[in-house]
Amino acid sequence: MLLIRCPWCGDRAESEFSCGGEAGISRPLEPNALNDADWSDYLFNRTNARGAHKELWNHAAGCRRWFEAERDTVSYVIKRTYKLGQAD
Amino acid sequence: MKKYSGFSLFRNALSHNLNWKQAWRKPEPKKHYDVIIVGGGGHGLATAYYLAKVHKIKNIAVVEKGWIGGGNTGRNTTIVRSNYLWTEASLFYEKSLKLWEGLSQDLNYNVMFSQRGVYNLGHNLQDMRDIERRVSANRLNGIDAEVVNATQIKAEIPLIDTSPDARYPILGASLQRRGGVARHDAIAWGFARAADALGVDIIEQCEVTGIHREKGRVTGIDTTRGKINAPKIGVVVAGNASVLAKMVDLRLPIESHPLQAFVSEPMKPVLDTVVMSGAVHGYVSQSDKGELVIGAGVDSYVGYGQRGSFQTIEHTLEAIVQLFPMFSRVRLLRMWGGIVDVCPDACPIVSKTPVDGLYFNCGWGTGGFKATPGSGWAFAHTIANDHPHELNAPFSLERFTTGALIDEHGAAAVAH
Ligand SMILES: Cc1cc2nc3c(=O)[nH]c(=O)nc-3n(C[C@H](O)[C@H](O)[C@H](O)COP(=O)(O)OP(=O)(O)OC[C@H]3O[C@@H](n4cnc5c(N)ncnc54)[C@H](O)[C@@H]3O)c2cc1C
Ligand SMILES: [Zn+2]
């Protein structure tokens, strides 16, 4: 089981968390201005990176807050976790 | 190719089984092929076989980064069925099931296809409504399907707990009697041997590291064993589909997740069919060796590590033990993971791409083993004619732009 550091609660067992998928996908501000291909890219296409991957996690059985994690998708090592909007 | 038969078994036994011929060659890659298939799983090998057999293409290579069948093909729980909900999906899977029914003969290789039936359990009223609907849809499409109640289930599977106060009460199930299991390795080896006999070069230990294009057309691939040219390239790499797509700047609607399975110590026959439950994320059958073969649901994160989390195993085993209380005393022997390529609508992509001469077959996710022969058959058609067969036309990459998704989550999501 992974040990995941919630930016608010500290190190907790993976079973307390749920993974929210790739981070940094924001809903287009003007959907009507998009063509079908761009809309489809937003809705369905994913980076699905083999290696470094930024993703959303939710401390579902804890403080219930969302945060971001930088994780390696091959070794599963979590490089760091941080509060939303504090990437750098 | 030396034909396998009862007589050949007997003759080779007399010489202490020392004279069996190699089942496929180990050729050096040539500089040029007419078609290259990337990925030596069941789907890639089946594609090569049908390209050679049905479409009479002579100069074909299958390039595999590890050993053939070492990906999801050799890691799955081998459930074969065709009782999907939507017409597009059920007809495609049914084509595959029909091919399974003649496959050992066709390949002259025993793939140990055992039509022992597949039960999909219903635990509540809504499950049962969905089952009724799916069974009706299947029958309208000419696919065998039945609804059975708890009493019938108990009569056919005595070990299962159908008591009304069970943790997961069983109200009934859908049953496809023509469904069953097959031998995972045999499908890779059988297709490899038959394709090799038709002249296909199967090149193992050869990883594709780049795809070359000129004026919007593919021209060849870079591999760890040198550059190989071909005007047509079919990519069938399951969990690594996005990695290959990136080589031609293509984004796919796919995420790769770990999916785990485990087997128990071998024991006397106790379960002569396949039992699955989408609601509790578990499915179980017993192999001919006597091991219980148990599969889990996917881990929720993207993972290329061919292993998943312990809590997923625990979750699945809790459910299996609730369904079969007797299994609580069985010890597990091995566990492992594969990398499954999951599409948003739980259906595959067997399609042309925006790059001429480049074809992708992926997105089979948690349930593509059953589709191995049908997928290869349709993908071969697509590559040979540069046009999909009507069976796989709905499974194009464009469906994510047009919106014509085929939502099979109900029939496919966790269950296989
Ligand atoms: C635990 C588990 C249980 C499952 N249970 C079932 C089930 O009960 N029923 C069912 O129908 N399906 C099941 N599935 C799904 C099924 O296994 C797959 O959908 C199917 O086997 C995919 O076959 P494939 O040939 O496309 O992929 P694979 O067998 O994974 O083959 C892809 C090949 O591509 C190779 N490759 C990758 N990258 C490269 C590269 N760069 N260059 C060269 N080669 C490369 C890989 O090494 C691999 O051998 C299960 C999967 C798992 C993991
Ligand atoms: Zn927290």
CATH superfamily assigned to domain A3-83? Folate-binding superfamily (3.30.2270.10)
The structure tokens 């999801």 sit at B72
Taking an 8 Å cut-off on Cβ atoms, the answer to whether A76 and B305 are in contact is yes
Sequence ranges of the domains in chain A: 3-83
Note whether A37 contacts B: Cβ–Cβ < 8 A: yes
Residues 6 or more apart whose CB falls under 8 angstroms from that of A59 comprise: A6, A8, A9, A12, A16, A17, A65, A67
Q: Compute mean pLDDT per 10 residues along chain A, 88 residues long, and list them.
A: 94 96 95 95 98 97 97 97 85
In angstroms, what CA-CA distances link A47 with A50, A73, B246, B305? 9, 12, 9, 17
pLDDT score, position A1: 77
Taking an 8 Å cut-off on Cβ atoms, the answer to whether A40 and B305 are in contact is no
Burial A1-28 (b: 16+ CB within 10 A, else e): ebebebbeeeebebbbbebbebbeeeee
Taking an 8 Å cut-off on Cβ atoms, the answer to whether B309 and A22 are in contact is no
Taking an 8 Å cut-off on Cβ atoms, the answer to whether A75 and B305 are in contact is yes
Judge whether residue B154 has pLDDT over 70.
yes
Q: What is the mean pLDDT of residues B51-79?
A: 97
- Six token digits for residue B274: 């396949």
Q: Per-residue pLDDT tens for B90-140?
A: 999 999 999 999 999 999 999 999 999 999 999 999 999 999 999 999 999
Relative to the alpha carbon of A5, which ligand is closest?
2
Q: Which of B187-191, B247-251, B295-299 has the lowest mean pLDDT?
A: B295-299
> What residues pair up with B221 in beta bridges, in sequence order?
B211, B228
**Could you give the count of Cα atoms lying within 13 Å of B239 in the half-sphere of its Cβ?**
24
Between helix B372-385 and helix B184-197 the angle, nearest 10°, is 30
To 5 degrees, how large is the angle CA B406–CA B276–CA B68? 75
What mean pLDDT is reported for chain B?
Answer: 96
Q: Which of B182, B100, B187, B90 is nearest to B374 (CA)?
A: B100
Give the closest-approach CA distance of B108 to chain A in angstroms: 38
In angstroms, what CA-CA distances link B338 with B256, B304, B359? 10, 8, 23
Residues 6 or more apart whose CB falls under 8 angstroms from that of B205 comprise: B64, B65, B66, B67, B224, B225
Q: Per-residue pLDDT tens for B171-194?
A: 999 999 999 999 999 999 999 999
The structure tokens 């299991």 sit at B181
Judge whether residue B355 has pLDDT over 90.
yes
pLDDT score, position B413: 44
Q: Name the residue at shortest CA distance from atom 32 of ligand 1.
A: B237
Find chain A residues with C-beta within 8 A of B406's C-beta: none
Q: What is the ipTM of this complex?
A: 0.96
Q: What is the pTM of this model?
A: 0.97
Residue in chain A lying closest to B256 (CA): A48
B42 three-class SS: helix
Instruction: Indicate whether residue B388 lines ligand 1 (CB < 6 A).
Output: no
Residue in chain B lying closest to A72 (CA): B303
Cα distance between residue B51 and residue B59, in whole Å: 10
Per-chain residues with Cβ under 5 A from ion ligand 2: A 6, 8-9, 59, 62-63
Residue in chain A lying closest to B339 (CA): A74
Question: For residue B216, how many other CB atoms are within 10 A of its CB?
Answer: 10
Question: For residue B331, how many other CB atoms are within 10 A of its CB?
Answer: 7
Relative to the alpha carbon of B73, which ligand is closest?
1
Q: What is the mean pLDDT of residues B265-294?
A: 95
> What residues pair up with A52 in beta bridges, in sequence order?
A72
pLDDT score, position B25: 97
Give the closest-approach CA distance of A7 to chain B in angstroms: 19
User: Which position has the higher pLDDT, B275 or A88?
Assistant: B275
Taking an 8 Å cut-off on Cβ atoms, the answer to whether B400 and A74 are in contact is no
pLDDT score, position B280: 85
B337 three-class SS: strand
Residues in chain B: 416
Residues in chain A: 88
Q: Per-residue pLDDT tens for B305-348?
A: 999 999 999 999 999 999 999 999 999 999 999 999 999 999 99
- Strand ranges for B247-401 from DSSP E: 255-264, 274-277, 282-286, 292-298, 332-342, 349-352, 358-362
Q: What is the mean pLDDT of residues B28-54?
A: 98
Q: What is the mean pLDDT of residues B138-159?
A: 97
- Is the dihedral angle over the CA atoms B233, B238, B242, B247 positive or is it negative? negative
Cα distance between residue B289 and residue B333, in whole Å: 13
